[in-house]
Amino acid sequence: MQTTTLMANAIRALAMDAVQKANSGHPGMPMGMAEIAVALWDGHYRHNPANPKWANRDRFLLSNGHGSMLHYSLLHLSGYAVTMDDLKSFRQLHSKTPGHPEVDITPGVETTTGPLGQGIANAVGMALSEYLLASEFNKPGFEVVDHYTYAFIGDGCLMEGISHEVCSLAGTLGLKKLIALYDDNGISIDGKVEGWFTDDTPQRFESYGWNVIRNVDGHDVAAVDAALAQARKSDKPTLICCKTVIGKGSPNLQGGDKVHGAALGDKEVAAVREHLEWSHAPFEIPANVYTSWDAKEKGAAVEAEWNTTFDAYRKQFPKEAAELERRMNGDLPANFDETLAAAIASCVDKKENTATRKASQNAIQALAPSLPEFLGGSADLTGSNLTNWKESIAVRSGKPGNHINYGVREFGMSAIMNGVALHGGYIPFGATFLTFSDYSRNALRMAALMKLRSIFVFTHDSIGLGEDGPTHQSVEHVSSLRLIPNLDNWRPCDTVESAVSWGAAVKRKDGPSTLIFSRQNLPFMDRSAAQIADIARGGYVLQDAPDAKVILIATGSEVELAVKAAAALKEQGMAARVVSMPSTDVFDRQDAAYKASVLTKGVPRVAIEAGVTDFWYKYVGLEGAVVGIDSFGESAPAPDLFKHFGFTVENVVSKVKAVLA
């Protein structure tokens, strides 16, 4: 039996045995893509199992992540710290081998894939990062950034709309070091896809500007190897269309939907062993197969060769080498805190009354010159989101830059940003209107799950955008984003809070942030230095009063209303404290003593936010009140809308009186 056949059958055996032991999982894809995996991992994929984070490694992403046992088998066989016991613990609590691949859980896994299509989107982000970093740091004779991004994708990934968004952009930008291998097996959970998926996939990708290699026998290692060699010569991203049989090797189930997502059963597992002439016990791999798969020596040599090149690069270009290392480590420039402080001080000096989306652009402008890792962008709304700055350069095919026109692709933008963050070297931020965060939502969730430094900018945050009406007016969005664990959401009220929120998002290394800004102008708020310092704690006392009888809590554009209502209450003999809470997520992480100093126990509370009310009862309690909106908006000028929905001093005062009564 050929060596490559043995290598492929080892994958099949491990996949079916692990799924059988767990009585859960997807054996069909790993068994069907085994030869494709052999061709890539044994012949083209540059990596070092001893150092999964080596900077210049190729990236491999399993977009069809349900077939995770394929990846885990490859990692184990090639020499990563994924043991046979780990494979035996497939899909078990706290194991290294969860049901879908998860970054930072399993050594060698580059991204968390589960929701189909996001893996290929992350791959586009990684290939984009490689292209931009190479353009910035490579010098003649020193290709220190030089690696490919490989993605396995299936029919499900291609049916998901996000694949259209990201692959279209990848073709337009000419990301030639992106190579996707399509597992064209014609089967999904419901059966043969010909009943609901008849796209001409090769033609579709050719229309995107991809190099397409058609009709490759996915069970012929030599054919896949030749296709990969051809793809590496292209000046376009490449799709290799591999015809496969799902569950290949299962004599009674291969080619059908029953092998897709369930254990084969003891009888069929035995039949597979007989059919493949695989006489070994479950989870037993012969020594000669391990030897064929072992990539440790080759990986060490490839990394050592690169290290030699990088050492020479460092001697000739010490500044560039240090900068590349800093950025790949995710460290901020030494002067960042100083730059941020200057940006905040400038806001205090200017005292501008302006929309916070403009305040955001001012913050970007202040920070960007000292943050070369900033990679901005917008989903076709740059002039409205204001995510560009004076020195920003639009990325085009063959023309690197630092700002991306993502087009009307909100979901694709967000998932590409996650790929950029995963790759390293850049801090990505991208923008759209807040109401369209719905399109991006699953990518936001994945960023939070993976603890990525992705920064999602959302403008036009409420009924304050006016005449565009309820389709564009966010009502439930801010509260719904607060429900995502590990996502920090900031809704600042003026220029100072906007600058502080940008600083917090940039400095945060363990998760993503949303920055939520207004379309309409908002007034500058006077503060002491101590109050400015407390903004970064998520919530603070903006205005206090001796013996306050009520606490008004507000965010964003409603802070102005809270301040005016407090003044009106004072005139009527009712002292009020005003708390600005730009980030409830950050405030909730503060110590109990600080939170109690802001929200004094026993003092009634009224929350004010132009959105749904339910969220705020966690702060005001059942005895408090919320001024909010529990319906959709209307189409009208913003001042008329705020009055119509009760965002008036009179209504706030009325609510306070009712609470105090």
C-alpha distance across the termini of the chain, in Å: 87
Compute the CA torsion angle 503, 504, 506, 512 (nearest 10 deg). Answer: -150
Of the candidates 484, 517, 489, the residue with the CA atom closest to the CA atom of residue 504: 489
Question: Which conformational region is residue 283 in: left (phi greater than 0), alpha (psi within -120 to 50 degrees), or beta?
Answer: left
Angle (deg, nearest 10), helices 118-137 and 410-423: 60
Annotate 330-364 with three-state secondary structure: CCCCCCHHHHHHHHHHHHHHHCCCEEHHHHHHHHH
Report how far residue 192's alpha carbon sits from residue 234's, in angstroms, rounded to the nearest whole number.
Answer: 33
β-bridge mates for residue 405, sequence order: 378
Helix (H) or strand (E) holding 384: helix 382-385
Which residues lie closer than 8 Å to 101 by C-beta, 6 or more apart?
Answer: 62, 65, 68, 71, 72, 109, 111, 112, 113
Among residues 410, 558, 560, 609, the one annotated as catalytic is 410
Q: State both tokens at 396.
A: 């085009």
To which H or E segment does residue 156 belong? helix 155-159
Question: For this structure, is 410 an active site residue?
Answer: yes
DSSP 374: E
How far is residue 647's CA from residue 649's CA, in Å, rounded to a whole number? 7
**Residues 460, 356: Cα–Cα separation, whole Å:** 10
Q: Which residue is it, tokens 């079916």?
A: 16
**Residue 259, beta-bridge partner list:** none
Burial of 93 (0-12, 13-18, 19+ CB in 10 A): exposed
CA–CA distance from 140 to each of 134, 143, 146 (Å)?
11, 7, 13
**Cα 248 to Cα 70: distance, rounded to the nearest angstrom:** 13
Contacts of 240 by beta carbon, 8 Å cutoff, 6+ apart:
179, 180, 181, 182, 213, 216, 224, 227, 228, 231
Catalytic positions, written as ranges: 410
